Structure 1
Amino acid sequence: MNKLPSPASLISITGGILAIIGLISYFNDAANLSVPTFFYGVPILLIGLALKNSEIPPAKSSIQKSDLNKLNLKGPKELSNLIGDVTRFRYGQRAHLETSLQALKLWDENKPPQLREIELIEKNQKFGIRMTFLFCGVPIEKWEEKKDRLGRFFASNLKASITAPNPEEIILELLPITNTTDND
C-alpha cells in the first residue's frame, strides 16, 4: 500500500501552486487571475508550512485491515482507539501519546519518549498490543516502576510487559490477562 501524503503537505502544495499561478499571472498582466490566486495562495502555503513544522508522522504499523476488523468486533474499544490515534498524523504535539505518558509520569520535557511502531498481538483469541518506543530521557527503571499501572491504563484486563532490546529502545507489550496466574 502506498503512503498517502500528509494533510500539511497537501495544503503546502496547494498554496504553493496557487501562489505560483498568481505570480505568473501577474507578470503576464492577467490581474483578474493574479490577485486572488496570489493573495489566497501565500497564506495557504504559510499555513501548510506551519502545520508541516508541527507534524508528527504516524507510528509504523504492521496491522492488517482484517486484524483491525477482528479487533473492532472482539477486542477492547480502547485498543482500537489507541491504534487509530497513533497511526494518523498529529499536529501541535511533541510525541504520540503525549498526555497519556504525562499522566503516567513517563514524560521528560527535554527528551520525550517517541513511539516508533505499534503491532497487534492475539493471545488465546484476545487482543493486546506491542509498542516500540525510543525512551530518550525517561530511564527504563521508571518504566518498570509503572508496569502495573501501564497494564490498566490503556484498557482493562491487560498486563504490561517491558523489554529493552537495546539502550535506546523499549518494547511495551500490553497482553490480555487469560487466567489468574497472568496477574502476578
Structure 2
Amino acid sequence: MSLKAASAAAALLGTGGTVLCSARLDLPERFNFLSLDGVSPNSRSIQRLRSRILVNEDSFHAFPHRLRLVFSIKAADSTQPSSLASPEKDIITDDEFSLAKVSFGVIGLSVGVSLLSYGFGAYFNILPGSEWSAIMLTYGFPLAIIGMALKYAELKPVECLTYSDAQKLRDQCATPILKQVRDDVIRYRYGDEQHLEEALKRIFQYGQGGGIARRSAPILQKIREEVTEDGKYCLVLVFEAKALKLSDFEQRQPKFASFFGPGITAEVVKGEKDLYEVRLISNTTL
C-alpha cells in the first residue's frame, strides 16, 4: 500500500494516529488485516475504510504476502476542549477512631466469654490462678449476658460517602440538623429497628390514613455528602423501598423539608432498582 493510501485511511478514521505498514504478514482471514487500538472493528468508520481500501477482495488471493495496518491512536490534545471530560472528585475516607464506631456488644461479649472461659479453667485447675476463678466467673457471666443483649439490639452504621469539596463546606454550610443526622447514622445504635426511625414514622405515617404500612417502610442504605452544581452542601439519603414508588416519596417531599429543616430544600430522585435518593440541600452558602 502506498503512503498516500495509508494517510487517507488515517484521515478517514479521524484518529490522528500513526500508520505502520508491514509487508510480510500472512493472516488466516482476509478481513482481519486491520488492527485498531481503541476502535471497534465493526464501527462505521472501519466499514468505510475497508470499502476504500478493499476495492477488489479477490485481488488479495494473488499475493502471498498481505498488508496489515496498525493505527496507534494518540491521546486527545489537552488544549482542545472536550465535552466528555469532567473533573474527578476525591473521596474522603473516615479513618478517625471514635467510640461511636465501636460495637459495645462485641466488646462485652468478648470480655465476658473470656472471663468465663478462664474462670472455669482456673476453677478446675486446668489454668493457673484458681484463687481468682470466683471473681472471673462472677463478673464474666453478667458481661457475657449484657454483650449478647447489646449484640442482639445492635443497629450497624450505614456507609457514608464523602467528597472532598463537600467536606470543606460541611462545617460552614451544613445545618445543625444535617450534621446530627450524619453523626447518628454512621455510628452504632441500640434498641432502634432502623436508622431515622422517628423521622420516617412521622413522614410516612405508618398505619394512619394516607400513610403506608410499617412493613413497607423504606430502609436507609447509605448516605452521601456532595456539592450541588450551584455550590451548595447536600446530604443525600439513599433508601431502599421495594414496596414504594417514586410518587410515594414525591408527595412527601415537603414533609422531608419541614422535618429536617429549617434552612434546607428537599429533592427526591429515583436511583437504581428499588433505591430512592432524598437530597437535603442546605440553603446556606459561603
TM-score (norm 1): 0.83
Residues 163 and 226, structure 2, Cα contact 8 Å, conserved in 1: no
1:115 maps to 2:212? no
Residues 55 and 90, structure 1, Cα contact 8 Å, conserved in 2: yes
Given candidates 76, 79, 91, the residue that maps to 2:175 is 76
Count of matched residue pairs: 178
- In 1: Cα distance, 2:203 partner to 2:276 partner: 16
Q: CA deviation at 1:110?
A: 2.7
Do the aligned partners of residues 73 and 158 (structure 1) sit closer, same or farther apart at CA in structure 2, a change above 3 Å counting? closer
1:99 maps to 2:205? no
Larger mean Cα displacement after TM superposition, 13-22 or 121-130 = 121-130
Q: CA deviation at 1:5?
A: 4.3
- In 2: Cα distance, 1:32 partner to 1:111 partner: 56
Do the aligned partners of residues 91 and 137 (structure 1) sit closer, same or farther apart at CA in structure 2, a change above 3 Å counting? farther
Q: Please name the residue that 2:265 is paired with.
A: 159
3-state SS of 2:198 partner: helix
Q: CA deviation at 1:131?
A: 1.0
Residue 168 of structure 1 aligns to which amino acid in structure 2? Answer: D
Q: Please name the residue that 1:182 is paired with.
A: none
Given candidates 135, 140, 151, the residue that maps to 1:52 is 151
For residues 1-184 of structure 1, the aligned pairs below 5 Å read 1=95, 5-28=102-125, 30-63=129-162, 67-68=166-167, 70-105=169-204, 107=206, 108-123=213-228, 124-177=230-283
Residue 155 of structure 2 aligns to which amino acid in structure 1? Answer: I
What percent identity do the matched residue pairs reach?
22
1:105-134: CA deviations, max 9, x gaps? 265433532211111122344322111111
Larger mean Cα displacement after TM superposition, 23-32 or 35-44 = 23-32
Larger mean Cα displacement after TM superposition, 59-68 or 76-85 = 59-68
Give 1 or 2 for the bigger CA radius of gyration: 2
Larger mean Cα displacement after TM superposition, 82-91 or 108-117 = 108-117
3-state SS of 1:88 partner: coil
Do the aligned partners of residues 65 and 147 (structure 1) sit closer, same or farther apart at CA in structure 2, a change above 3 Å counting? same
- In 1: Cα distance, 2:191 partner to 2:112 partner: 20
- In 2: Cα distance, 1:23 partner to 1:66 partner: 55
- In 1: Cα distance, 2:269 partner to 2:168 partner: 28
| Higher relative contact order (CA closer than 8 Å, sequence separation 6+) | 1
- In 2: Cα distance, 1:163 partner to 1:14 partner: 45
Larger mean Cα displacement after TM superposition, 16-25 or 156-165 = 156-165
Q: Which has the higher helix share?
A: 1
Q: What is the CA RMSD across the aligned residues, in angstroms?
A: 2.6
Structure 2: stretches of 5+ with no match in the other structure: 1-94, 207-212
Residues 163 and 225, structure 2, Cα contact 8 Å, conserved in 1: no
1:9-60: CA deviations, max 9, x gaps? 1111111111111111111185421111112112111111111111111110
TM-score (norm 2): 0.55
- In 2: Cα distance, 1:77 partner to 1:85 partner: 12
Larger mean Cα displacement after TM superposition, 6-15 or 29-38 = 29-38
1:150-184: CA deviations, max 9, x gaps? 12321223222222223421111112358xxxxxx
- In 2: Cα distance, 1:73 partner to 1:2 partner: 21
3-state SS of 1:33 partner: helix
Structure 1: stretches of 5+ with no match in the other structure: 179-184
Q: CA deviation at 1:67?
A: 4.8
Residues 162 and 226, structure 2, Cα contact 8 Å, conserved in 1: no
3-state SS of 2:192 partner: coil
